[in-house]
Copies of this chain bind each other. A is one copy, B any other.
Amino acid sequence: MTIKIGLVGTGTVGGGCLDILANHKEDFKRIYGLDLELVRVCSLDVEAAKAYGVEDIFTTDFHDVVNDPEVDMVIELIGGTTFARTLVTEALKAGKHVVTANKALMATYGEEVMGLAAEKGLEIAFEASVGGGIPIIDPLKHSLTANGISSVMGIVNGTTNYMLTRMAQEGLAYEDVLAQAQALGYAEADPTADVDGLDAAAKIAILASIAFHSRVTINDVHTEGIRNIKPMDLDAAAEMGYAVKLLAIADRTDQGISVRVHPAMLPLSHQLSNVNGVFNAIYVTGDFVGETMFFGEGAGAGAAASAVMGDVIEVARHIQMGCGPIVGCTCVDKLPIVPVEDLECRYYIRFTVADRPGVMAAMAGVFAQHGVSLYSVSQRGSDDAGEVSLSFVTHTVAEKDVRAALAEIAQLEDVQLDDPSVIRVVK
Is A156 on the interface with B (CB-CB < 8 A)? Answer: no
Is A32 on the interface with B (CB-CB < 8 A)? Answer: yes
Q: Which residue of B has the minimal Cβ distance to A331?
A: B31
> Contacts A31-B332, A287-B23, A289-B303 known; A146 to B309 CB distance under 8 Å?
yes
Interface size class of A (residues with CB under 8 A): 35 or more
Q: How many monomers of this protein are in the complex?
A: 2
> Contacts A139-B138, A143-B310, A146-B312 known; A295 to B292 CB distance under 8 Å?
yes
Is A120 on the interface with B (CB-CB < 8 A)? Answer: no
B289 touches A297 (CB 8 A): yes
Is A343 on the interface with B (CB-CB < 8 A)? Answer: no
Q: Which residue of B has the minimal Cβ distance to A127?
A: B143
- Complex: how many Å from CA A32 to CA B142? 11
Query: Which residues between 284 and 301 of chain A lie within 8 Å of chain B, taking CB atoms?
Result: 286-297, 300
A330 touches B290 (CB 8 A): no
5 closest A-B pairs by beta carbon, nearest first, are A323-B323, A135-B143, A146-B309, A292-B296, A289-B306
- Complex: how many Å from CA A20 to CA B300? 39
Given contact pairs A135-B143, A290-B303, A326-B326, a sample of 7 additional A-B residue pairs in the complex whose CB atoms are under 8 Å apart: A24-B146, A133-B288, A145-B310, A146-B308, A290-B302, A318-B323, A323-B323
- Complex: how many Å from CA A306 to CA B292? 12
The interface bits of chain A over 373-385 (1 if a CB of B lies within 8 angstroms of the residue's CB, else 0) are: 0000000000000
Is A321 on the interface with B (CB-CB < 8 A)? Answer: yes
Query: Which residues between 313 and 355 of chain A lie within 8 Å of chain B, taking CB atoms?
Result: 313-314, 317-318, 321-324, 326-327, 330, 332-333
List residues of chain B with CB within 8 A of the CB of A300.
290
Is A134 on the interface with B (CB-CB < 8 A)? Answer: yes
Which residue from B305, B314, B322 sits with its C-beta under 8 Å from A288? B305
- Complex: how many Å from CA A282 to CA B20? 24
- Complex: how many Å from CA A159 to CA B379? 47
Is A27 on the interface with B (CB-CB < 8 A)? Answer: yes
B291 touches A296 (CB 8 A): yes
Query: Which residues between 267 and 294 of chain A lie within 8 Å of chain B, taking CB atoms?
Result: 271, 274-275, 286-294
- Complex: how many Å from CA A408 to CA B293? 46
List residues of chain B with CB within 8 A of the CB of A322.
323
- Complex: how many Å from CA A326 to CA B135? 18
A sample of 24 cross-chain residue pairs with beta-carbon separation below 8 angstroms, ordered by A number, consists of A24-B146, A24-B147, A24-B148, A30-B333, A133-B290, A135-B143, A142-B310, A142-B314, A145-B309, A145-B313, A271-B295, A286-B306, A287-B302, A288-B305, A289-B296, A289-B303, A289-B306, A290-B300, A290-B303, A291-B296, A294-B295, A295-B295, A321-B323, A323-B323
